[in-house]
């Protein structure tokens, strides 16, 4: 049965498995672990562990039945698929110096995976590489992956990293299991069906080191009973650091697998309830020796806070690549407008900014005699018009509003809104591109919502530069400035999704994405800043920025799959909105981050630095970004001359 139910959470992390020994009675194995033990699936060996191909003597017919754990008929296809993860024989060593063992290992690996595929299992657990060298193991797995349909291969990796920072980073004694994983997946060409099953041990690496794994394709976390502590009542529990890690796995759809034997001396008469480390009661059913460990994992799951409404709304967008809007080239549809208009937080911030601007523009003694001219450029279906008029009402100031909108379909809605609200004497609707409009008078305040996920990526600078000519010399622009930010990230899923297109174009495109399964490897740094109004005589919106990111020493090595981009905007004075993680406006969902992929991921070693260049370029008909890494190794310049991705003027 699932660990519990959380509103909106339908991820696989609700299901907990158990690692078992070989049993040629698979139906009994499922009954004892699923029915009696309340686990959701078993990680079970497929083949008798004593089997070695080199020891098999063929019978007179020239064939032999392989010692698999039962026929495919002992379970229905759905039972095999839903409740069994195949465990590949742990003795195999494809990089052994022993030629017979190496040959036996390769033969057995292919036989077992072929059988698991025949059974339509969802996944198979591969044993951990026996040493740092795993070239032949990876070669064989890569061969298998080329012909595998939908089954996942989970490579078992112990969660180990030496914390001795005094050691030479090139020392053979430095242990970092991430390096083994990275070598293996590089040899397998980042194959999307190759994932990780992390072995959680008694001690854990640093928080920075653990953080790397949340950007990798971790599917399961195997926690041995030896890693559990004992609480005051004699029941298993986990350290605070282990609890935090397991909760993080729950949030990233990682399934927990209990492994090992009962190592806790449970109090007598514990058939009623067990107690967790915080003294709360959990189900103490005794149908299975590992049930107390399952109950504790279920307790950790059930005590998590429910997903907020905003996160439930965003679940379907997690790690889903979307092309950014082309607001000048394309007219938005009604559904897009409606989604953005539901973001009340954004419009509250705009209303606060307009309030402050009106109070600064019009003293209290002139409130009844002075009318402020406010222009909403890119008015859409009118949410900024409404926010501006509400600001005028709140401050007791008089407004005359021009609503400028190029989308003729949205203009229809604007006319209906003005008539419905009785704004005919206050609001004038202009159906025109703001860059081509000849305004009848100058504006005191210019309001726009042309910002993209990277700040300027929906051409706010070009649009506002074009509209600036009808703003008074002392006029106020809302927003008054905005800055883009980037940071290097590990994002295995996003990289594989881009790679699946098998072309350069998709690697040279920036995507809007709700980042979730990513590891942020360094704090963000600012890239481009734009200020409005811009009274410079030599005005150019082209930009170049070189950035250097330092990797913390205790992180260990990490893979950079690309860069996450954000923005922060100052609407007016101290009123801001944005999505840069350290200053993000709470509960605002109008913008997801932007993702700039790298064609070839860059491996960073502990204490090393990453140097990256970003350019904002423009031509007569388009604006585009170019980006490239120059250290520790050089990458190609991505999107040269806007050949793959650009925004049309």
CA nearest 453: which of 309, 370, 340? 340
- Residue 213 and residue 198 in contact, taking contact as beta carbons nearer than 8 Å: yes
State residue 374 phi and psi, 5-degree precision.
-125, 130
- Residue 428 and residue 403 in contact, taking contact as beta carbons nearer than 8 Å: yes
415: left (phi over 0), alpha (psi -120 to 50) or beta: alpha
**Locate tokens 């050949």: which residue?**
643
The SS3 assignment for 530 reads strand
What ranges make up the beta strands (E) of 525-592? 525-531, 543-550, 558-572, 575-578
State residue 623 phi and psi, 5-degree precision.
-125, 140
Residue 275, C-beta contacts closer than 8 angstroms, at least 6 positions apart = 231, 233, 235, 281, 282
- Residue 350 and residue 390 in contact, taking contact as beta carbons nearer than 8 Å: no
CA nearest 468: which of 400, 411, 539? 539
- Residue 627 and residue 615 in contact, taking contact as beta carbons nearer than 8 Å: yes
- Residue 354's CB: how many other CB atoms inside 10 A? 31
- Residue 246 and residue 13 in contact, taking contact as beta carbons nearer than 8 Å: no
β-bridge pairing 84-87 and 41-45: parallel
User: Which tokens is 417 given?
Assistant: 């809104």
Sort 185 into a burial class: Cβ within 10 Å, 0-12 / 13-18 / 19+. buried
What ranges make up the beta strands (E) of 61-120? 84-87
* Catalytic annotation, residues: 449, 458
CA nearest 172: which of 212, 224, 201, 131? 131
How far apart (Å, rounded) are the C-alpha atoms in residues 12 and 253?
Answer: 5
- Residue 145's CB: how many other CB atoms inside 10 A? 18
How far apart (Å, rounded) are the C-alpha atoms in residues 401 and 612?
Answer: 44
How far apart (Å, rounded) are the C-alpha atoms in residues 452 and 568?
Answer: 10
Alpha-carbon distances, residue 315 vs 312, 493, 496 (angstroms): 5, 16, 20
The SS3 assignment for 231 reads coil
Tens-place pLDDT, residues 506-532: 999 999 999 999 999 999 999 999 999
Terminal-to-terminal C-alpha distance of the chain: 55
User: In DSSP terms, which residues pair with 563 in a beta bridge?
Assistant: 488, 596
- pTM (predicted TM-score): 0.91
pLDDT score for 163: 57
What are the structural domains, with CATH classification, of the chain? 12-56+66-162+174-227+255-260 (3.20.20.150), 334-478 (3.40.50.150), 481-648 (2.70.160.11)
CA nearest 249: which of 43, 432, 205, 241? 241
pLDDT score for 496: 97
How far apart (Å, rounded) are the C-alpha atoms in residues 158 and 205?
Answer: 11
CA nearest 633: which of 610, 606, 615, 614? 610
Cα angle vertex 285, ends 282, 287, to 5°? 150
pLDDT score for 165: 41
Q: Which regions of the chain are under pLDDT 70?
A: 1, 6-10, 57-63, 162-174, 268-287
β-bridge pairing 255-259 and 16-19: parallel
Helix (H) or strand (E) holding 386: helix 383-395
pLDDT score for 125: 98
Length of the chain: 649
State residue 143 phi and psi, 5-degree precision.
-60, -45
Q: What is the 3-state secondary structure (H, E, C) of 393-428?
A: HHHCCEEEEEEEECCHHHHHHHHHHHHHHCCCCCEE
């Amino acid at each position: 049965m699932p660990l519990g139910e959380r509103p909106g959470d339908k991820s696989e992390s609700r299901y907990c498995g158990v690692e078992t020994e070989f049993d040629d009675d698979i139906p009994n194995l499922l009954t004892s672990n699923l029915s009696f033990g309340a686990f959701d699936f078993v990680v079970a060996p497929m083949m008798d562990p004593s089997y070695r191909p080199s020891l098999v003597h063929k019978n007179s017919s020239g064939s032999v039945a392989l010692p698999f754990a039962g026929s495919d008929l002992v379970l229905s296809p759905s039972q095999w698929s839903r409740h069994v993860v195949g465990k590949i024989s742990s003795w195999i060593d494809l990089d052994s110096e022993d030629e017979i063992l190496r040959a036996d290992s390769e033969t057995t690996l292919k036989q077992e995976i072929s059988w698991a595929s025949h059974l339509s299992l969802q996944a198979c657990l591969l044993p951990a590489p026996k040493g740092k060298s795993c070239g032949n193991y990876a070669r064989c797995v890569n061969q298998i992956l080329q012909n595998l349909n939908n089954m996942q291969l989970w490579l078992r990796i112990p969660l180990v990293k030496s914390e001795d920072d005094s050691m030479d980073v090139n020392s053979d004694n430095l242990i970092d299991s991430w390096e083994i994983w990275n070598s293996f997946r590089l040899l397998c060409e980042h194959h999307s069906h190759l994932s990780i099953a992390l072995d959680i041990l008694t001690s854990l690496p640093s928080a920075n080191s653990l953080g790397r794994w949340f950007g990798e394709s971790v599917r399961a976390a195997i926690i041995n009973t030896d890693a559990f502590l004992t609480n005051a009542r004699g029941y298993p529990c986990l350290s605070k650091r282990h609890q935090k890690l397991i909760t993080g796995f729950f949030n990233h759809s990682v399934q927990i697998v209990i492994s090992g034997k009962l190592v806790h001396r449970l109090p007598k008469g514990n058939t009623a309830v067990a107690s967790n480390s915080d003294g709360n009661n959990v189900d103490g059913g005794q149908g299975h020796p590992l049930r107390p460990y399952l109950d504790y994992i279920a307790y950790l799951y059930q005590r998590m806070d429910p997903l907020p409404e905003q996160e439930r709304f965003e679940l379907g967008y997690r790690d889903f690549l979307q092309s950014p809007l082309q607001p000048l080239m394309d007219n938005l549809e009604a559904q897009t407008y409606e989604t953005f208009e539901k973001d009340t937080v954004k419009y509250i911030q705009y209303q606060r900014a307009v309030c402050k601007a009106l109070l600064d523009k019009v003293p209290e003694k002139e409130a009844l005699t002075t009318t402020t001219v406010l222009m909403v450029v890119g008015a859409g279906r009118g949410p900024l018009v409404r926010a501006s008029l509400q600001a005028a009402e709140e401050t007791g100031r008089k407004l005359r509003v021009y609503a400028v909108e190029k989308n003729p379909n949205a203009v229809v809605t604007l006319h209906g809104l003005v008539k419905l609200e009785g704004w005919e004497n206050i609001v004038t609707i202009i159906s025109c591109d703001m860059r081509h409009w000849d305004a009848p008078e100058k504006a005191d305040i210019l309001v726009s919502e042309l910002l993209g996920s990277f700040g300027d990526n929906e051409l706010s600078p070009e649009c506002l530069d074009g509209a600036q000519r009808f703003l008074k010399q002392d006029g106020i622009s809302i927003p008054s400035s905005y800055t883009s930010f980037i940071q290097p990230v590990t994002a295995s899923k996003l990289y594989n999704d881009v790679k699946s297109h098998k072309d350069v174009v998709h690697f040279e495109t920036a995507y809007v994405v709700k980042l979730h399964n990513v590891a942020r490897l360094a704090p963000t740094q600012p890239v481009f800043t734009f200020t409005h109004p811009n009274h410079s005589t030599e005005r150019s919106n082209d930009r170049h920025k070189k950035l250097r990111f330092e990797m913390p020493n205790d992180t260990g090595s990490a893979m950079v799959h690309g860069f996450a981009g954000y923005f922060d905007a100052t609407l007016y004075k101290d009123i801001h909105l944005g999505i840069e993680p350290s200053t993000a406006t709470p509960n605002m969902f109008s913008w997801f981050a932007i993702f700039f992929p790298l064609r070839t991921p860059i491996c960073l070693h502990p204490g090393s630095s990453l140097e990256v260049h970003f350019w904002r370029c423009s031509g007569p008909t388009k604006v585009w970004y170019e980006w490239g890494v120059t250290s520790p190794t050089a990458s190609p310049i991505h999107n040269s001359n806007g050949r793959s991705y650009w925004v049309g003027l």
